């Protein structure tokens, strides 16, 4: 054991095994755990909890930053340990249990869980489980590859379990900027005016008397598996980069653009990679998660600074970043997710937000979460925090998938996560639609012209034309036919 990582030496007798620590959990408890896009999550204690729950009735509410790695959500689900889960997940096993109605899922904006906890709008947290690089002399926690909601969990939980991960070098100290707004009614300004501003401390404060157990691990974050760019994502990235170039030509933006946010996944990666060979320079990111592409851009000199709440890397990139932490620490900062994703900062900084949609409709409404209106995919994550308040709110998706049996551009989305009022730019591999300043009928025309897959263009045009003729209105729709494409897919396996 690396007891040297416990600078508060009076805590050394709290060191125990994961199984022992997991005995602290009781049926019905609310657990707040670290972890955000598979980074900085609990690797041992939640795993031990799953094993316990296999043998006894032990159902909890689990809150995290965002998604967990190491199949932890799957293990907890299979063990029947999850009564309720929030605010985000990406696990196939958990997703299916949610969709069967077995696990209750609360799909929250990532900036809001901490708000709701602080405001007593959610049940109080019993136990926090937080991954740490080390514990400072005052008991405060130096986190690892994510901050997430850990500051809130540590502040509000009755007891705290710390997992010290010795795989993470102590040199990570200084990567994090830990700041929390005061509670209402005395909340103050968050004094960030640029992504690179540091306003807080380097570790997460915690009442040392609440630390109930310390567990050691040596397990790396689950690697991000990012599909390499393919023809579609390269086409999407191309449309988007040309759009940015045009905005610069028109004098709307400079070659430095404005701070970028990019969701995870291959499209975001393709877009960021596209910047490498562009004329843009001195770029900044103000995002929620940083992937390999961020570090490539930092290395290439195109990107000057990146702010987020987590770092999710491939195995190769993980090694590279941790071997060069000192170099990156000046140019990267990790913040609590209620800071990285807070509406006021996103508007103040003028973020350009790029997120992936499951589907969008002819009027610009976006579905980020549901398949067929009923089944959850992952959750809204931070897409709403950013899209709603961004300088530019961009959504990307492939025009069609599954041998073109599915069109992602539709008469009406089956679930709305981002409304027509919030969406500026839509992009598919077919093309880009700039919706700014357009009325709904103008938007429909442009989206049908620019974004829909050619195999669906005519029938989408026909829907719109008939809706205008038969019903008219500000937003012409035939409600009895609005979901006919989804219904056809359900019944016949194709939207055609």
Ligand X SMILES: CC(C)(COP(=O)(O)OP(=O)(O)OC[C@H]1O[C@@H](n2cnc3c(N)ncnc32)[C@H](O)[C@@H]1OP(=O)(O)O)[C@@H](O)C(=O)NCCC(=O)NCCS
User: Taking contact as CB under 8 A, which single stretch among the options 17-25, 223-231, 268-276, 374-382 is the one that binds its own copies?
Assistant: 374-382
- Cβ atoms 321, 311 nearer than 8 A: yes
Q: How many residues bind ligand X (CB under 6 A)?
A: 27
**Phi–psi pair at 82, nearest 5 degrees:** -105, 115
Nearby residues of 375 by Cβ (< 8 Å), 6 or more positions away: 95, 99
371 binds ligand X (CB under 6 A): yes
Of residues 285 through 344, those in contact with its own copies by CB under 8 A are: 342-344
CA separation for the pair 307, 331 (Å, rounded): 8
Q: Which of the following is catalytic: 131, 136, 163, 288?
A: 288
Find the farthest-apart pair of alpha carbons in the chain and give their distance in angstroms, rounded.
Answer: 77
Binding of ligand X at residue 205 (CB under 6 A)? no
- Cis ω on the peptide bond leading into residue 185 (within 30° of 0)? yes
**Percent helix / strand / coil, the chain, rounded to 5:** 35, 20, 45
The span from the CA of 412 to the CA of 277, in Å, is 37
Does the footprint of its own copies cover residue 386 (CB under 8 A)?
A: no
Contact stretch for its own copies (CB under 8 A) within 44-52, 235-243, 297-305, 486-494? 486-494
User: Of 3-11, 99-107, 291-299, 313-321, which segment contacts its own copies by CB under 8 A?
Assistant: 99-107
Q: Is residue 115 at the binding interface for its own copies, with CB under 8 A as the rule?
A: yes
- Tell which positions 425-464 bind its own copies, by CB under 8 A: 436-439, 441-442
288 is catalytic: yes
Residues 430, 435, 439, 442: is their CA dihedral positive or negative? negative
**122 lies in the binding site for its own copies (CB under 8 A):** yes
Residues 237-266 binding ligand X (CB under 6 A) are: 263-265
- According to CB under 8 A, which residues from 43 to 82 bind its own copies? none
Residue 286, SS3 per DSSP: strand
- Which of the ranges 101-109, 206-214, 215-223, 315-323 carries the binding residues for its own copies, by CB under 8 A? 101-109
C-alpha of 76 from chain center:
21
494 binds ligand X (CB under 6 A): no
Please state the φ and ψ torsions of residue 83, each to the nearest 5 degrees: -85, -45
**φ and ψ of 130, to 5 deg:** -130, 125
The option from ligand X, its own copies, none interacting with 250 (CB < 5 to 8 A, set by class) reads: its own copies
How far is the CA of 233 from the CAs of 208, 267, 382, 427, 480, in angstroms? 48, 5, 21, 10, 34
Q: Give the nearest distance from C-beta 406 to ligand X in angstroms.
A: 5
Residues 174-203 that bind its own copies (CB under 8 A): 181, 184-185, 187-189, 191, 193
Nearer Cβ to ligand X, position 111 or 203?
111
Q: Which residue has the tokens 């700041």?
A: 179
Catalytic residues: 288
Which chain residues interact with ligand X by CB under 6 A? 263-265, 288-289, 355-359, 368, 371-372, 377-378, 380-383, 397-398, 401-402, 406, 408, 486, 489
């Amino acid at each position: 054991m690396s007891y040297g990582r416990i600078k508060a030496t009076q805590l050394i007798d709290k060191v125990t095994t994961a199984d022992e620590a997991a005995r602290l959990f009781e049926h019905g408890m609310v657990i707040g755990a670290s972890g955000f896009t598979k980074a900085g999550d609990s690797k041992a204690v939640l795993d031990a909890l799953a094993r316990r729950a296999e043998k006894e009735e032990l159902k909890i509410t689990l809150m995290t930053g965002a998604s967990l790695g190491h199949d932890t959500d799957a293990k907890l689900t299979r063990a029947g340990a999850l009564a309720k889960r929030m605010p985000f997940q990406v696990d196939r096993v958990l997703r299916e249990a949610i969709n069967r109605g077995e696990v209750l899922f609360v799909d929250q904006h990532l900036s809001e869980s901490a708000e709701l906890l602080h405001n007593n709008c959610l049940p109080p947290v019993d136990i926090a489980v937080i991954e740490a690089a080390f514990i400072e002399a005052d008991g405060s926690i130096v986190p690892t590859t994510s901050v997430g909601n850990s500051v809130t969990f540590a502040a509000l939980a009755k007891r705290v379990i710390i997992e010290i991960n010795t795989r993470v070098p102590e040199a990570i100290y200084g990567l994090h900027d830990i700041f929390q707004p005061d509670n209402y009614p005395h909340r103050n300004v968050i004094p960030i005016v640029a992504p690179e501003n540091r306003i807080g401390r380097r570790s997460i404060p915690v009442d040392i008397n609440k630390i109930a157990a310390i567990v050691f691990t040596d397990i790396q974050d689950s690697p991000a598996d990012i599909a390499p760019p393919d023809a579609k994502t390269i086409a999407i990235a191309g449309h988007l980069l040309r759009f940015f170039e045009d905005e610069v030509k028109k004098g709307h933006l400079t070659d430095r653009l404005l701070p970028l946010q990019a969701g995870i996944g291959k499209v975001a990666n393709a877009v960021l990679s596209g910047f490498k060979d562009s004329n843009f320079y001195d770029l900044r990111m103000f995002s929620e998660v940083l992937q390999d592409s961020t570090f490539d851009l930092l290395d290439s000199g195109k990107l000057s600074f990146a702010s987020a709440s987590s770092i999710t890397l491939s195995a190769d990139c993980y090694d590279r970043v941790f071997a060069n932490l000192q170099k990156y620490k000046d140019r990267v900062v990790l913040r609590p997710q209620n800071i990285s994703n807070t509406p006021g900062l996103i508007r103040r900084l003028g973020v350009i937000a790029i997120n992936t949609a499951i589907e969008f409709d002819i009027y610009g409404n976006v579905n980020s979460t549901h398949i067929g209106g009923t089944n959850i995919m992952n959750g809204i994550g931070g897409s709403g925090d950013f899209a709603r308040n961004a300088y530019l709110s961009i959504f990307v998706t492939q025009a069609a998938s599954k041998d073109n049996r599915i069109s992602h551009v539709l008469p009406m989305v089956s679930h709305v996560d981002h409304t027509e009022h919030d969406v500026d730019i839509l992009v598919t591999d077919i093309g880009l639609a700039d919706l700014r300043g357009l009325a709904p009928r103008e938007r429909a025309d442009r989206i049908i012209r620019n974004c829909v897959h050619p195999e669906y263009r005519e029938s989408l045009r026909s829907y719109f034309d008939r809706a205008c003729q038969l019903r008219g209105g500000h937003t012409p729709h035939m409600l009895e036919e609005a979901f006919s494409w989804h219904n056809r897919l359900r019944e016949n396996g194709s939207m055609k």
